[in-house]
């Protein structure tokens, strides 16, 4: 658990922020949510919520300090904001030389810059799975369905593809069937990738009666795991089933599973496997 101050959850889309806030509160932490304007944040417990604009970072820092926040955790997906330099406050103007160029680069470079900015302001940036370690399941197959030999080969190829994509700082997922890469994850995200395979890409399987394919998700080798660690949830399983896949493989220690009981139940109901796959030796993505 964090120190004596409150924990700030910088919230994006999805169920992770609310799940994390509730988990931390159950363990005795005081939680404050903060979210960019325009994002509909799940806040079923009515926790304090700070709304902010990137153009007004000085106001955000001041509001977090006023709430007694010392530790921060970033949770949920966000899109890169469109900035209006006319609206910059003084603090944002002093930081613009750092973050504006980073907005034009890859995700990992941008997120490292974000971490550096908050740490320079005196906040400790924590990983979601550090505060809620149960989000990272141990290695093994969590479902009744088991991956076959062809599934394991497809998962291994997908893991190599994700590792290769890391060189371009792109994506944390890939779908492979019968050795063929049906799709790789880009800016639209995992759900869009699964929808693509459920549609036109599904016809790319060489043998319609062969292996149906595997979604693999894993972190980029060498990425800072305090922000943007990949996650799956019930929607991922629904998307994999709609895409006609055999199952989902995730890298052990590198992918969070939200609502695990619901995820496993959904996979069992759909006849899919969920395999928490050990990281490949020498991949550089473990830890």
E-only strand ranges, 152-266: 173-177, 180-184, 214-217, 231-232, 247-251, 256-257
Question: Cβ(4)–Cβ(31) under 8 Å?
Answer: no
Question: Cβ(172)–Cβ(185) under 8 Å?
Answer: yes
Residue 226 domain-assigned (yes or no):
yes
213: left (phi over 0), alpha (psi -120 to 50) or beta: left
- Report which of residues 242 and 19 the model is more confident about: 242
* pLDDT 10s digits, 89-110: 999 999 888 887 777 766 667 7
Last residue of a domain, one of 131, 161, 193: 131
Q: Are residues 80 and 199 in the same domain?
A: no
Q: Are residues 121 and 38 in the same domain?
A: yes
Last residue of a domain, one of 77, 97, 131: 131
CA distance 40 to 22: 17
Last residue of a domain, one of 71, 97, 131: 131
Q: Are residues 145 and 271 in the same domain?
A: yes
Three-state DSSP state, 239 = helix
pLDDT band of residue 44 (cuts 50, 70, 90) is: confident
Residue 253 domain-assigned (yes or no):
yes
Question: Cβ(279)–Cβ(254) under 8 Å?
Answer: yes
Q: What is the pLDDT of residue 283?
A: 56
β pairing state of 214-217 and 173-177? antiparallel
- Report which of residues 147 and 226 the model is more confident about: 147
* pLDDT 10s digits, 159-215: 999 999 877 777 789 999 999 999 999 878 899 999 999 987 777 888 888 889 999
Three-state DSSP state, 225 = coil
Which pTM value belongs to this model?
0.83
| Share of residues in the chain with pLDDT > 70 (%) | 95
Which structural domain range is residue 250 located in?
A: 136-277
Q: How many structural domains does the chain have? A: 2
* pLDDT 10s digits, 51-91: 999 899 999 999 999 999 999 999 887 777 788 888 999 99
pLDDT band of residue 144 (cuts 50, 70, 90) is: very high
Q: Are residues 141 and 106 in the same domain?
A: no
Q: What is the pLDDT of residue 83?
A: 82
């Amino acid at each position: 658990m964090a120190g004596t101050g409150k924990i700030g959850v910088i919230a994006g889309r999805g169920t992770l922020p609310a799940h994390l806030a509730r988990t931390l509160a159950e363990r005795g932490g005081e939680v404050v949510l903060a979210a960019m304007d325009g994002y509909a944040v799940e806040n079923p417990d009515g926790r304090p919520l700070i709304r902010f604009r990137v153009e007004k970072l000085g106001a955000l820092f001041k509001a977090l300090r006023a709430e007694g926040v010392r530790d921060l955790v970033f949770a949920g997906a966000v899109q890169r904001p469109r900035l209006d330099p006319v609206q910059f406050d003084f603090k944002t103007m002093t930081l613009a030389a750092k973050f504006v160029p980073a907005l034009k680069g890859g995700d990992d470079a941008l997120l490292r810059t974000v971490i550096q900015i908050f740490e320079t302001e005196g906040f400790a940036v924590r990983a979601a799975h550090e505060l809620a370690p149960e989000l990272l399941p141990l290695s093994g197959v969590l479902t009744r369905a088991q991956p076959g030999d062809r599934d394991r080969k497809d998962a291994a190829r997908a893991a190599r593809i994700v590792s290769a994509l890391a060189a371009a700082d792109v994506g944390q997922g890939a779908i492979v069937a019968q050795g063929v890469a049906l799709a790789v994850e880009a800016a639209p995200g995992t759900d869009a990738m699964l929808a693509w395979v459920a549609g036109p890409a599904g016809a790319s399987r060489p043998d319609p009666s062969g292996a149906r394919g595997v979604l693999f998700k894993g972190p980029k080798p060498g990425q800072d795991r305090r922000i943007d660690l990949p996650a799956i949830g019930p929607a991922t399983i629904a998307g994999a089933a709609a895409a006609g896949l055999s199952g989902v493989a995730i890298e052990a220690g590198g992918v969070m599973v939200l609502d695990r009981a619901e995820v496993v139940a959904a996979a069992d109901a759909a006849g899919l496997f969920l395999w928490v796959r050990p990281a490949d030796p020498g991949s550089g993505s473990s830890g």
